Structure 1
């Protein structure tokens, strides 16, 4: 059994030992056989914290270092280690956001686990990925599914692995969502006990423990959510050649894939996903709330596809 003074958590299908407190993650209190990830706090000799520019990345095949000005320096190495060097002790929320987002996305890539950027929902025993650019409405749409009794597997980073016979499987991440205030207001959610996400005062961290699916599920399909000036909601199949671009575009921190040396691996993963699953593109009006309509559309589409494949 493993003995450590660090707190042990479980997320992304991995046992995580951390110097930093991570209240978003489920805690492991019983003995475990192995630790998959070590998160350590260390003082690093990083020279330039004067620039107010975007985060700077230094990348090779085994290690990624990135610097968030006035916040922290992060080192992610070999898919097993994350080092955090805080530069501002008042920004613990910022640090955790990058730790559970960018750091975990990079670490999953290093472990050859595909991290899609989106939300994953359980429907009829399968996981369906909702991907899209920031602001497309992925988390809001996932909330609409939760309101109907479905379960969440992931919000933000969706980990996907292959079985021995190359079938894509979605691994649960951790039971939290990040939701805008207008979504919370629409569903009548009390915000008094919720915490805003640092500089985004109108976006909140929302626990979803009661509706979180804790077991890995086969991937049932991928829905790309996009905004349009058209007033009608529409859905169409993504053609085979376009599927690879869609999956690459919505891979978390995809700009690092080539630098880490994973282009061939990513293409093979995309091929396995596309050969086993249908991909759809949904367009929704940008000027009104359509999550309920989209939920109906996705469920109907899933049922139609299931009938076709029977």
Structure 2
């Protein structure tokens, strides 16, 4: 039975979120005033939407609405950056349901609100935000954990919300205090898997609360590091040229296939241009043959200090 609750307000990505669904990953708000930014509702979606059954996993865009169906989980609808409607399938796993709400659905909300969603992790270093982007399995969350072990703080994991200030400074708004780490990363950091809950469908990936290592205020984005893997055992880093950086940001925009469907190509290009004109973008090669996160973190810190 899906666990729901009445009119509890959560905070994530700078939004006040009213949810019918219990979201233990998110901090609750005691006072929120008269308005909320995003509402998450459990409801039956219109019958016309159920043709999504014939095209599972496909994201259908109609006007200001994005809809998709995940088999054995739920039908989802995200409208105008304000409303997420969920119609769960019977016996759907709550953890998997929340994974899509806090992942794909929130990514769509950000796009609909013209907030740039990067796919990666971000940490706070000396009053600035640094983003680690890359393909799945590149080691973004593991690298962020290495920084947390050095005393720095997490801003976001999986989806990084970047907006532009009035003077076009890119700003990272924190998401919520949780990471997702693979079992081998936990082992390398000396953490016991028995202390954490595995993510449904990914028995060797775990949800890691990091409330004590979380920075909850927006910070200016000062650099982006793209993580790639290599068979070479040598760790290498180089700065990506400005024009190439545009493609890098596009490739690592969360759910980037929705950009043209939402008619956001011009917005995305303009925002990307503002970002790369303000910060440096680097590519970092890490060996697949060994655990190198602490060394990568040290190299990034050295690079940051040289640029100041």
- Assess same fold via TM > 0.5: yes
TM-superposed deviation, 1:34? 2.0
Contact 2:74 2:92 survives alignment (8 Å): no
TM-superposed deviation, 1:47? 3.4
Contact 1:194 1:206 survives alignment (8 Å): yes
Q: TM-score, normalised by structure 1?
A: 0.94
State the partner residue of 1:182: 184
TM-superposed deviation, 1:172? 0.2
State the partner residue of 1:272: 274
State the partner residue of 1:10: 11
Alignment partners' CA distance in 2, 1:191 and 1:109: 34
Alignment partners' CA distance in 2, 1:203 and 1:138: 14
Deviations 1:100-147 (A, max 9, x none): 000000110000000100000111100000000000000000000000
> What does 1:148-297 correspond to in 2, within 5 Å?
148-297=150-299
Paired positions, count: 302
State the partner residue of 1:127: 129
Q: Is the partner of 2:50 in helix, strand or coil? A: coil
Q: TM-score, normalised by structure 2?
A: 0.95
Unpaired stretches in structure 1, ≥5 consecutive residues: none
- Aligned partner of 1:47 among 37, 42, 50: 50
Q: Is the partner of 2:28 in helix, strand or coil? A: coil
Alignment partners' CA distance in 1, 2:246 and 2:25: 32
TM-superposed deviation, 1:155? 0.2
Deviations 1:40-94 (A, max 9, x none): 000123435766x751211134110011011101000000000000013331111
Unpaired stretches in structure 2, ≥5 consecutive residues: none
Deviations 1:147-185 (A, max 9, x none): 010000000000001111110000000000000111111
Q: Is the partner of 2:270 in helix, strand or coil? A: helix
Q: Is the partner of 1:105 in helix, strand or coil? A: helix
Contact 2:133 2:140 survives alignment (8 Å): yes
State the partner residue of 1:95: 97
With 247-256 and 57-66 compared, the bigger mean Cα shift is at: 57-66
State the partner residue of 1:34: 35
Alignment partners' CA distance in 1, 2:34 and 2:15: 12
TM-superposed deviation, 1:187? 1.3
- Aligned partner of 1:81 among 83, 90, 110: 83
Q: Report the CA distance shift for 1:287/1:242 in structure 2 as closer, same or farther (over 3 A).
A: same
Contact 1:17 1:35 survives alignment (8 Å): yes
Alignment partners' CA distance in 1, 2:25 and 2:111: 22
Q: Is the partner of 1:88 in helix, strand or coil? A: coil
TM-superposed deviation, 1:190? 2.5
Alignment partners' CA distance in 1, 2:190 and 2:33: 40
Alignment partners' CA distance in 2, 1:162 and 1:49: 35
TM-superposed deviation, 1:193? 3.0
TM-superposed deviation, 1:6? 1.5
Alignment partners' CA distance in 1, 2:115 and 2:52: 32
